[in-house]
Amino acid sequence: MTQQSTLIPRQNLHGTLTQNLRDLIQQGELKPGEKIPERLLCERFGVSRTPLREALKVLAAEGLVELLLQRGAIVAQLTPEDIEELFPIMAALEALAGELACDRATDADVARMRELHEQMIESYRGGDEITYLRLNRLIHEEFFAIARNETLAAMYQQILSRIHSYRFIVRKSQANWESAVKEHEQIMEAFGQRDKARLVRLLRKHITGTTVRIAKETLPLQGDDKGR
């Protein structure tokens, strides 16, 4: 984790601190299995250990953090059971969002998605994985925005939180990265043509296939007992 000072105003300290820690995890600065560096985080945000630990309890309840008895906390890791349970739900939610987006997308929505996609492809060609992952996440979230269904979007964010945003922060093997890019090309093509049946099929395949393989690449780390 890079050390960067981000002092938090006293008002709404708890909520802001919790969100800042959540962002560090979901953006990949604090990595799965990594010990939470409490002292460094207290210095970074200008807080004492009491509010920091209260925030960690909230994140533990969300499944983002694992509290260790007498030993602080670590960023939670996916298990094979998590993958089998959660990714099919994610696939179903994304497929429904894609179906609704096909019905409700304006020409401006399609143009915006194409622009994001082109930027993502440029990042891939330039080997800029950090930018690629950020744009990848924006594209998937944009389907839910275009679907214009707040309940569906909230369910998606809940599941996304539980899988610790692995699909957007884990470094991919070159083969899986290439596969993901090819699938995104097909997804954008189907969306641009408003081909609902094809888009639904492609989104399900993308999540249950390539995305699951990428998540499983992290599983050997489970036995490292890192930070414990």
Question: In which domain, by residue range, is 192 found?
Answer: 80-220
Torsion, Cα 68 73 76 79, to 10 degrees, reads -20
Number of domains in the chain: 2
For residues 90 and 70, membership in a common domain is answered with no
pTM of the predicted model as reported, rounded to 2 decimal places:
0.74
Q: Compute the mean pLDDT over every residue in the chain, rounded to the nearest whole number.
A: 87
Phi-psi group of 127: left, alpha or beta (phi > 0 → left; psi -120 to 50 → alpha; rest → beta): left
| Model confidence pLDDT, tens digit, residues 175-210 | 889 999 999 999 999 999 999 999 999 999 999 998
Question: Is residue 4, in this structure, part of any structural domain at all?
Answer: no
Task: Identify the sign of the CA torsion 196, 164, 79, 167.
Answer: positive
Instruction: Give me the pLDDT at residue 158, please.
Output: 85
| Model confidence pLDDT, tens digit, residues 52-99 | 999 999 999 877 899 998 889 998 888 888 889 999 999 999 999 999
Percentage of the residues of the chain whose pLDDT score is greater than 90: 58
CATH number, residue 67: 1.10.10.10
- Structural element, H or E, at residue 14: helix 13-26
For residues 47 and 103, membership in a common domain is answered with no
C-alpha of 26 from chain center = 6
| Model confidence pLDDT, tens digit, residues 113-122 | 999 999 999 9
Could you give the CA distance from residue 194 to residue 153 in angstroms, rounded to a whole number? 20
Percentage of the residues of the chain whose pLDDT score is greater than 70: 87
| Model confidence pLDDT, tens digit, residues 2-48 | 655 565 555 578 899 999 998 888 777 888 888 999 999 999 999 99
Question: Is residue 225, in this structure, part of any structural domain at all?
Answer: no
